[in-house]
Every structure is written in C-alpha cells, then in structure tokens.
Structure 1
Amino acid sequence: RGPQSQFTRAGVPAGFRSHPGSTHLNYMINFWSDRTPLHEAAFQGRLLHLRALIAQGFHVDTVTMDGVTPLHEACLGGRYACAKFLLDNGANAMAVSTDGATPLFNSCSSGSAACLKLILQHSASIHTTYQLASPIHEAAKKDHRECLELLLSRGAQIDLELPDVGTPLYSACMARAAACVEVLLYSGADVQIGCGPDSPLHAAVLGGGADVVHLLLDFGADGCRRNAEAKTPLDLSKPNSSVRAALLSRGPCSLSQLCRLRIRRSLGKSRLHRASSLFVPHSIKDFLLYQ
C-alpha cells in the first residue's frame, strides 16, 4: 500500500478528471499512485462510505500504481458486504496486482471463506501464473482450512510444486499448519512431494511440529529420505525435542499400513472419496479413509 492519499479541497483525490458531459470521475493512472478513500473504505468494511463514494463518481475498479483495486482490499480485510457491493457494481473479480495477487488470493490470505465463495461465483480462476501468489499455497500455509477445502472442491492442483515454494503440503508443514496438513493428506496429497529433494517431513521437522510429523508418518512419509544437503528428517531434528521423539517412536510400517497406503495410491486422488462405496466391510472402508 502506498502512503496516505492527498486530496483537493473539494474532497476529490488529486489525479481524477471528469470527461466532458459526464458526472463520473475517471482514474488517471499516470497521476495517481496512492490508495484512495475507496480502497480504505473497502478494507475497513465501511459499506455506507463505499456506497457514497461510488455515488459521487469514483470508479469501482480504481487502481493504485501497483494494480491494487478496492476489491483486492475488501477481500484482504475479509469484508464480504463490501466485496459483494463492488462486484454487484461491476468490479473485476480477476484483477491482478503487479505482484500477482488477485481478490481470490487475498480472500485465502485473510481466511475469509465467504469472500472466497463470492469470488468463485464470479468465475475467478483458482489457478495463477504468478508463482508467489498461489491461492492454494496461501490458504495452506495460513492454516485456513475452509478456504483450502473450497479450493480443492473446485479442482485446485493439490500437488502443485512451485520453485522455492514447494507444494501446498510442504508449505503447510513448514508453517506448522496442522489443520491444513490434515485436509491435504486426507484429500490425497502426495506425502513425498515437497520442494525439490526436500520432503514435507523435512519441512515439518524444521517447522517444529511434532503433531504434523505424526500425521505425515501415518500417511507413509519416508523418514529415511535425504534432502539437498543429504540429511534425513532425524538429522534435522533437535536433541531432546518432541519432534525427534515423534520420529524415533515409529518403527517399520505394519503390513496393514502398507496395504492401506497401496490401496489409496491405486485409487488415486480423484477416486479416494469412492472408497466408501467399495464392496468391503465398513471397518475396512473406515481404515482406508483413516476414520
């Protein structure tokens, strides 16, 4: 966000001009780079002020020099009513800032499932070409479970690995976001794919999450895998830590666990939910689904 905006005595931001014969103000991007009252009202959730500004002629997609729109700000603040008002008045649900952020990404950042649903209803893409602004990675590392589940239900790539960022599971493990680690694992995320040679288990150890380590091991994480520095997760763990204790508490996988992992891999991510319809006893179904 830029510094505090400057205004004329008439209350109109500098850099706005009106077309002859029009009551609407047009944003001149070459002259205006700071946040406007529209951005501030959207971020703070001041719906009445937002309505008044639009009625006065502010353009609904007024942008700052870094491409931030009022809708970006409403979603970043988790302001559903303001976001809906902006969209109802023609705001672009797919606006992209110069750093690749979209209203959808900002909704994931704030953890507002309501804003995320709203943006998705306006056909916003869940995929991004900007690697540092991936909605699914943002939801995962911020531990916003409901947002993550929404993205996955809309077809987000669960094992999307980005350079220097890794997969959503890797990001969640590094951030010790246990709730989202659980969602990703139950949804079929590959427990071995992290960030290059670094696995999610390496990330969990570095993040200090013993609970996350237990989850990963339950889903078949390889405790002997070596990272880019040829270190195993145990090598990275601190002496006498709960993480180290979690790693040392596990022996070889049981035959039943190996069978469960094999069947889940055979079903694949897209068919895991169909395990409940298999012609096998309920106890086996529950076992396969970790219930």
Structure 2
Amino acid sequence: MSLMDISKIFSLLQPKEDEEEDTNCCQELNQAVFRDDDKLLTDLLSQDKYRKCINHRSGWGIPVTPLRTAAAQGHLRCLEVLLAHGAEVDSLDVKAQTPLFTAVAAKHLDCVVALLEAGANPNGSLYNNCSPVLTAAREGDVDILRELLRHGADVDVKPKMPDWASNATTCRGPLYISAVYGHLDCFKLLLQHGANPDYNCTEEKMLTRIKQPKTVLEMCLKYGCGLEYIKLLIDFGANVYLPTLIIDKTARQNEAVMLLLKEREAPPLAGVCVRESGEKGAEYDASLFQVRFSVHVRVCTAWVVAYNSPNKQPFSLARLVIA
C-alpha cells in the first residue's frame, strides 16, 4: 500500500466540515441541558442548525442525545423544551436504553410522566432485555411503577432473548423482583394490574423449555417473604398446589407454609351465594358466575361481582360461603 493510499484512507476517516459543525452544535445543546439552562436551550433551538441535530449523540465516553441527558439529570424544563422542538421520544443510546428507561432508573418521576405523556413506549426498547417496569419493581418506586402501568406497560415479563437462551432467570418478572427485594406496595400494585400470580410470565413456549420453573409462591417461601405476600398471591388466584413443599420441623413453624397447607386442605368452591342481608341465593356454579377470587377461598369477606345466568345482570355479593 502506497503512502498516497494511506493518506486517502485517513482523509476519509476525518469528519467532514458539516459533520464537525453538527457535532459542535449537539455538544452545545447537551451542555445547555446539563446546566439546566432552558432559556439558552430555547434560544439555540430557534436556529435551524441546532434543530436539525436535536437527535444527534455527543459527549465523552458514551455519546448521548440531549433528551437522554435531560432525563438522566432530571431537568424537566429542558426535557419539555426538547420535546416541544421535536426531539425523538424513544431515541436509543449505545446500550439500547430509551430516555424513559434512564428517567426511571434515576427515579425522576416528573420526567417519567412527561415522557409518557409525550408518547414514550412504557416498555422501553425491544433491544434491551431490561425494562422500565422491571427497574421500578426492583427499586421499589411504586409511584413510577403506577405511572408506567397506567400508560399500558406490560405487567408480566416479555423475554427479549432467543429461545435457546431461556432459563429460570429469564421468566422472573416484575412480581418476582418486587417480592425478592421486599417491595410489598409494588407487589400488590402489580397483582392489581393483572400480573400472573403463578409464573409472572405469559410465554408458554419459554416455560416449557425450563426444566423446573419456579412459581412466585415458591420464590416467596424460599426467600422468606412476609405472610402478606402469600396472602396476596392466594387472594389473587395463585395455584396453591404448584409449589413443591418439603415439610420438616422448621417448616411447620413457618406461618407462610402453614397457611399454604391450610389452603390446600380447603374443599373446592361450591355452595350458595349469600347476600349482604343474609338471604341465600342460587347455588354457586362456576359456569354461571364469574368471581375474581381464587377457587379455593373458603369465605370471602370482600364484595365481589357475579353475573346472573338468565339475564347476565351484575349484582353484588357480601360473602361466598362453602356449603
């Protein structure tokens, strides 16, 4: 290779004048955001040369967009200015993390809300195996988790890896995480939004590839989660017969294990509907009624909604009593 060829290669690697100008503009935008100077940022974005590079990445180490910088720093005013001037709400960094994911990880609730209202995907990027919901569940940030779920985030884990890479860890979703980290408020919120109380995973194909998938109940027992977690799982319909229990002297002193054994002894739900007044209704038939609670509940003191078979009209029940 001649010296001329080498010189040509190096010349091709050098940034063009226009590219260098764009890089400088992007750096100025990032610096304004980093200093939380929304007025300067507004002035810069009033010029075409700055607006056209609003989604460009710059910076030392990991190049990032100005919107990602605003989300990471929690600079709401700058974030709103960028969104108003057309910043891409789901732009990715080199880790395939969106600005929303960054705001969730940094616990900036106001930025999370602003991004969601601007149309950010509540599930984050398809190319990142983690998600905003998993992060919020791990950190125990119930307010951020509530906003994500309110905007349609998946409550059950959606694995983002090939089938051959599936293992027991990949199906441990937000419900698992919130239990293991001891975040009861997040745990309850996830169940209220429809989290699967057994595996917290809706991918049957993945579950079949795992030799011994662990249920949420098993994980709660293994990690010594409080009795409140077990009660919530039972109330939200967890299958109490799925966990494999090894009963020894120590286990029999465990309130959670004893509660589970008691639930296993309860007969299947079949009986009569009792109204608040005490008046007995028709015999309970699972094919005619829909009840939110699990089929092994003996007495449910909470009100439930069922449907009368002849006309499908809803009515309230005070208790379900086993015959």
- Provide TM-score, normalisation by structure 1: 0.64
Residue 215 of structure 2 is aligned to residue 199 of structure 1:
yes
CA contact (8 A) 2:180 2:219 kept: yes
- Once the two structures are TM-superposed, the CA of residue 16 in structure 1 deviates from its matched residue by 9.1
The residue number in structure 1 matching 2:314 is: 279
- Once the two structures are TM-superposed, the CA of residue 84 in structure 1 deviates from its matched residue by 0.8
Which residue of 122, 147, 156 corresponds with 1:159? 156
The residue number in structure 1 matching 2:77 is: 81
Instruction: Give, as a single letter, the amino acid of the residue that structure 1 aligns with 2:316.
Output: P
Which residue of 227, 236, 240 corresponds with 1:219? 236
What SS does the aligned partner of 1:281 have?
Answer: strand
- Once the two structures are TM-superposed, the CA of residue 186 in structure 1 deviates from its matched residue by 1.4
The residue number in structure 1 matching 2:175 is: 169
What SS does the aligned partner of 1:263 have?
Answer: coil
The residue number in structure 2 matching 1:95 is: 91
CA contact (8 A) 2:240 2:263 kept: no
Inter-partner Cα distance in structure 1 for 2:184 and 2:117: 28
Alpha-carbon spacing, 1:48–1:133, altered in 2? closer, same or farther (3 Å): farther
Residue 206 of structure 2 is aligned to residue 190 of structure 1:
no
Residue 243 of structure 2 is aligned to residue 246 of structure 1:
no
What SS does the aligned partner of 2:145 have?
Answer: helix
What SS does the aligned partner of 1:264 have?
Answer: coil
- Once the two structures are TM-superposed, the CA of residue 83 in structure 1 deviates from its matched residue by 1.2
* Equivalences for residues 129-140 of structure 1 within 5 A: 129-140=126-137
Which residue of 146, 150, 155 corresponds with 1:149? 146
What SS does the aligned partner of 1:280 have?
Answer: strand
Alpha-carbon spacing, 1:44–1:143, altered in 2? closer, same or farther (3 Å): farther
Instruction: Give, as a single letter, the amino acid of the residue that structure 2 aligns with 1:280.
Output: F
Residue 292 of structure 2 is aligned to residue 264 of structure 1:
yes
Inter-partner Cα distance in structure 2 for 1:125 and 1:45: 25
Instruction: Give, as a single letter, the amino acid of the residue that structure 2 aligns with 1:96.
Output: L
Q: How much identity, in percent, do the aligned residues show?
A: 23
CA contact (8 A) 2:68 2:99 kept: yes
Inter-partner Cα distance in structure 1 for 2:176 and 2:259: 22
Alpha-carbon spacing, 1:198–1:77, altered in 2? closer, same or farther (3 Å): farther
CA contact (8 A) 1:67 1:96 kept: no
- Once the two structures are TM-superposed, the CA of residue 46 in structure 1 deviates from its matched residue by 5.0
Residue 131 of structure 2 is aligned to residue 125 of structure 1:
no
Greater Cα offset, 187-196 or 50-59: 50-59
Inter-partner Cα distance in structure 2 for 1:107 and 1:186: 24
What SS does the aligned partner of 2:263 have?
Answer: coil
What SS does the aligned partner of 1:115 have?
Answer: helix
Inter-partner Cα distance in structure 1 for 2:39 and 2:223: 43
Alpha-carbon spacing, 1:76–1:219, altered in 2? closer, same or farther (3 Å): same
Higher strand fraction (1 or 2): 2
The residue number in structure 2 matching 1:69 is: 65
Give the gaps of 5 or more residues in structure 2.
1-13, 160-165, 202-206, 208-212, 271-283, 295-303, 308-312
- Once the two structures are TM-superposed, the CA of residue 93 in structure 1 deviates from its matched residue by 0.6
Larger Rg: 2
Inter-partner Cα distance in structure 1 for 2:221 and 2:32: 42
Residue 111 of structure 2 is aligned to residue 111 of structure 1:
no
- Provide TM-score, normalisation by structure 2: 0.59
- Once the two structures are TM-superposed, the CA of residue 101 in structure 1 deviates from its matched residue by 0.8
Alpha-carbon spacing, 1:275–1:70, altered in 2? closer, same or farther (3 Å): farther
Q: How many residues align?
A: 247
The residue number in structure 2 matching 1:181 is: 187
The residue number in structure 2 matching 1:12 is: none
Instruction: Give, as a single letter, the amino acid of the residue that structure 1 aligns with 2:258.
Output: L
CA RMSD for the aligned pairs?
4.4
Which residue of 30, 55, 60 corresponds with 2:54? 60
